[in-house]
Amino acid sequence: MGVRTLPGNPEISLRLRKNPRARRMTLRISRLDGVVTLTIPRGVSEREAMAFAAEKQDWVLGHLSKHAAPTLIGPGQTLNVGGQAFQLTESAGKRLLIQGDQIALPMPQEKGRVHLLAWLREQARAELTRASDHYAEKLGRSYARITLRDTRSRWGSCSSAGALMYSWRLILAPKAVLNYVAAHEVAHLQEMNHSPAFWKVVEQLYGPHKEARRWLRHDGPSLHRIRFDA
């Protein structure tokens, strides 16, 4: 249904979502990036829904105040890529330039972010392919293909047909975390569940994984607060 604005100081942007199976109106605030979603069941008008949201405005603002603000990436900032810290600078050229621990972005900044995002996706595909190939060979199984997306609810998945899907943002995580997610999804090629047998396969492929899982729970949401568009 699109995005609406709830008047106030400050204003609140709401993402409206109709769900005929919903039994009541609900407001949800994403812990990843603070996006506020207003779910509307069948038979409820948009006017009624916005009135409901207005009644909950103080509650929404209270929760939003606990969220870290999104970061629009650009020169002067540091970005971790594949476990290495890069300093972002301005480039006088027309293309992205990587030298040592610096990434020079072409100007204007909007163009630079487009180039940076494309490069990050390339790095993500290379690293996730490397890790998936390694664990698949170790397991003695093969996968069908790898797809990269900007998923909000999961870091990876494995279909019954052996297709692996990963969030490209894993390239911004420590390499050990990226490797863990790859091992987790490759393990599903043998165990399409989260049974004790599945976790045993993960342990065999990756080793102890408690720390990587903890990082994803506590620090993973910060990767979604890195923005590449204004």
Output the pLDDT for position 1: 63
What are the φ/ψ torsions at residue 77 (nearest 5 degrees)?
Answer: -105, 165
* pLDDT tens-place string over residues 39-58: 999 989 999 999 998 998 88
Q: How many CB atoms lie within 10 A of CB 136?
A: 20
Question: Domain for residue 206, yes or no?
Answer: yes
Output the pLDDT for position 230: 60
Output the pLDDT for position 32: 67
Question: Domain for residue 69, yes or no?
Answer: no
Same domain, 33 and 90: no
Task: Please state, in angstroms and rounded to a whole number, the distance separating the CA atoms of residues 50 and 53.
Answer: 5
Task: Please state, in angstroms and rounded to a whole number, the distance separating the CA atoms of residues 216 and 151.
Answer: 14
Output the pLDDT for position 64: 73
> In Å, what is the CA distance from 105 to each residue of 35, 55, 116, 225, 230?
28, 45, 7, 20, 16
- Give the total number of structural domains in the chain: 2
Q: What is the CATH number of the domain that holds 130?
A: 3.30.2010.10
Q: Is the pTM of this model over 0.85?
A: no
Same domain, 199 and 108: yes
Same domain, 128 and 46: no
**Parts of the chain with a pLDDT under 50:** none
Output the pLDDT for position 65: 64
Output the pLDDT for position 36: 87
> Which residues constitute the domain of residue 42?
2-64
Same domain, 98 and 34: no
Question: Domain for residue 167, yes or no?
Answer: yes
Output the pLDDT for position 34: 76
Query: Given the structure tokens 């109106």, which residue do they identify?
Result: 25
- Strands of the sheet with 26-29, listed across from one edge: 2-6, 12-18, 36-40, 26-29
What are the φ/ψ torsions at residue 212 (nearest 5 degrees)?
Answer: -65, -40
Same domain, 142 and 212: yes
- Do 213 and 180 meet the contact criterion of CB atoms below 8 Å apart? yes
